[in-house]
Structure 1
Amino acid sequence: MDQLKAEQRLTIIYVLTSIFGAVASITSGIAWGHWKQTLDQCIGRNCSCILFGEHTPSKFLGGSNGYCIWVTFGPLFLVFFCVGLTCFHGYRVLFSSRAPPSRKTRSVVAKLEPGENVLITAVSQESTSPLPRAYWIIVAVFSVISTIYAIIHFSVFVQGFYKTCNQYRLELENKFPVGGSALPVIHGRLSCQGIFDFMDYFEMDSGNAYRGGFINTGLDLILGIIGAAFTWMLFLLASYINIKMVQASGHEE
């Protein structure tokens, strides 16, 4: 893979990663802001997070505030990182396409017979100025670290989503005193989207909170999870390209 193609692909990847990271951050922030006062009914601690909710005999409580802080603001580090690299590689790709291509030659003397030498000249064309190998090493390391970071963020998001979903299934048993064949419907047939739909319309505000309308909490969180999933997958692809460029720059030296 030559450097121009690598930078073109990285520019696209970083743009998409910025978008999906922003989606994960914004959607989780919307759900958190909508539910935080309603769910924060703990004594002595902040439990305002829509993720990692907990069923109790008397009320439904949110998860620790730290989870929502992490899920909402965690992707912003990745977004800023990608925006900076998008500007850098995008600038190089954009202006290299308008500039005349540079050429690099390398000559090698080959010996055929005693006293006979042949001069072989190889001409390679570069559309962007070569970046030092140290740059690719640094970016590759940051990409790998960001991939791990994004996977952890995605895992926390998914785990918190399913924890609240499953705990609210227990809450529905209290709100609708049913038994027998109805319980498998709540615990087996209803998707988490359906569970959060019940939560949107049946979970009452606390005495000191008013949500001010309804949102589609399930869809909002699912979009955030999708954004978080694409974020780590795109970072994994960027890591692969950066590592390949480290290897390619090493061969050139």
Structure 2
Amino acid sequence: MDQLSIEKGLTISYLLCAIMGIISSVTTGIAWGHWYLSLDQCGIGRNCSCILYGQNTFSRFLGGGQAPCIWITYGPLLYVFLAICMTCFHGYRVLFTTKSPKMRTKRSVIARMNHGSSVQIETIAQEDISSLYRCFWITMSVLTSIFFVYALVHFAIFLDGFYTTCNEYRKMLEKLLSVHGTILPVIHRRLHCQSVFDFMDYMQLDSENAYRNGYINTGLALILGIIASCFGWIIFFFASCLNITMAKRQN
């Protein structure tokens, strides 16, 4: 791939990273904000308002600690900022600098003839886009690699918190539905998490000091956030590979 193709790929990659980060942040924020007061029933001195890492107790269902929701909701905004900046940078170069006069680069190659003499051949090539310093590509390789790990950790925590709440609410469903015996394997093995959160949307009671304004599809909101978070680290991995390719190529 030439530099122009790589910068086009980076423009699309950074744009998708920004979109995925925004989707993940917004959908999680909606679910967290909807359940914030209803799940926060731990008492004074402790906040358990998070829809992730929920806890089933003897008398009620509590949310998880506030820290995971803060991280999952606001964490993507850090790489969204970088992605937007780099989308504008590479997008400008792809759209406008390609229309400027072509750059000419010279390369010298020494060829050895059959009779033993050497001939220096100089090739002149036209570049479709101005080159960038190698230090730029090295810096971006490091940054995108860091954010690849960052986004991967974000996805892992998001997924773990989602399944923790899902599995804990399965136990809550046993009490709410007053079921036992052979129907329990249906709840714990056959019921998908989307369905578990559907039960939660309509069966979970509000606390004494909180009232939810209507209903939302909590499961769908969280699943969309997880999917966006998953695509986020995959795209960052692709972007880091492109940056590393250019860092190795530049002399």
Instruction: Note whether the superposition's TM-score is higher than 0.5.
Output: yes
Displacement, 1:220?
A: 0.5
Alignment correspondent of 2:165: 164
Task: Write the mapping of 1:59-78 to structure 2, written as runs, cut at 5 A.
Answer: 59-78=60-79
Question: Within the alignment, does 1:4 sit opposite 2:4 as a pair?
Answer: yes
What amino acid does structure 2 have at the position aligned with 1:154?
F
Displacement, 1:99?
A: 1.9
Q: Structure 2: how far apart are the matches of 1:51 and 1:221?
A: 9
Q: Structure 2: how far apart are the matches of 1:147 and 1:63?
A: 26
Percent identity among equivalent residues? 54
Displacement, 1:239?
A: 0.8
Alignment correspondent of 1:38: 38
Taking structure 1 as reference, are residues 144 and 185 closer, same or farther at Cα in structure 2, changes over 3 Å only? same
Question: SS at 2:48's partner residue?
Answer: coil
What amino acid does structure 2 have at the position aligned with 1:198?
F
What amino acid does structure 1 have at the position aligned with 2:189?
G
Displacement, 1:106?
A: 2.8
What amino acid does structure 1 have at the position aligned with 2:30?
I
Question: SS at 2:52's partner residue?
Answer: strand
Alignment correspondent of 2:80: 79
What amino acid does structure 1 have at the position aligned with 2:81?
F
Displacement, 1:116?
A: 6.7
Gaps of 5+ in 2: none
Alignment correspondent of 2:219: 218
Taking structure 1 as reference, are residues 132 and 179 closer, same or farther at Cα in structure 2, changes over 3 Å only? same
Number of residues of Structure 1 aligned to a counterpart in Structure 2:
250
Alignment correspondent of 1:142: 143
Range with bigger deviation, 233-242 or 91-100: 91-100
Q: Structure 2: how far apart are the matches of 1:62 and 1:179?
A: 25
Gaps of 5+ in 1: none
Displacement, 1:100?
A: 2.9
Alignment correspondent of 1:154: 155
Q: Provide Cα deviations, 1:145-182, integer angstroms capped at 9, x if missing partner.
A: 00000000000000000000000000011111111111
Question: SS at 2:99's partner residue?
Answer: coil
Taking structure 1 as reference, are residues 122 and 183 closer, same or farther at Cα in structure 2, changes over 3 Å only? same
Find runs of 4+ consecutive structure 1 residues off by over 3 angstroms: 107-119
Question: Within the alignment, does 1:248 sit opposite 2:249 as a pair?
Answer: yes
Alignment correspondent of 1:91: 92
Alignment correspondent of 1:227: 228
Alignment correspondent of 2:56: 55
Displacement, 1:109?
A: 5.8
Question: SS at 1:97's partner residue?
Answer: helix
> Could you state the TM-score of these two structures normalised by the residue count of structure 2?
0.95
RMSD, aligned CA: 1.6
Q: Structure 2: how far apart are the matches of 1:41 and 1:123?
A: 72
Question: Within the alignment, does 1:104 sit opposite 2:94 as a pair?
Answer: no
Taking structure 1 as reference, are residues 56 and 117 closer, same or farther at Cα in structure 2, changes over 3 Å only? closer
What amino acid does structure 2 have at the position aligned with 1:81?
L
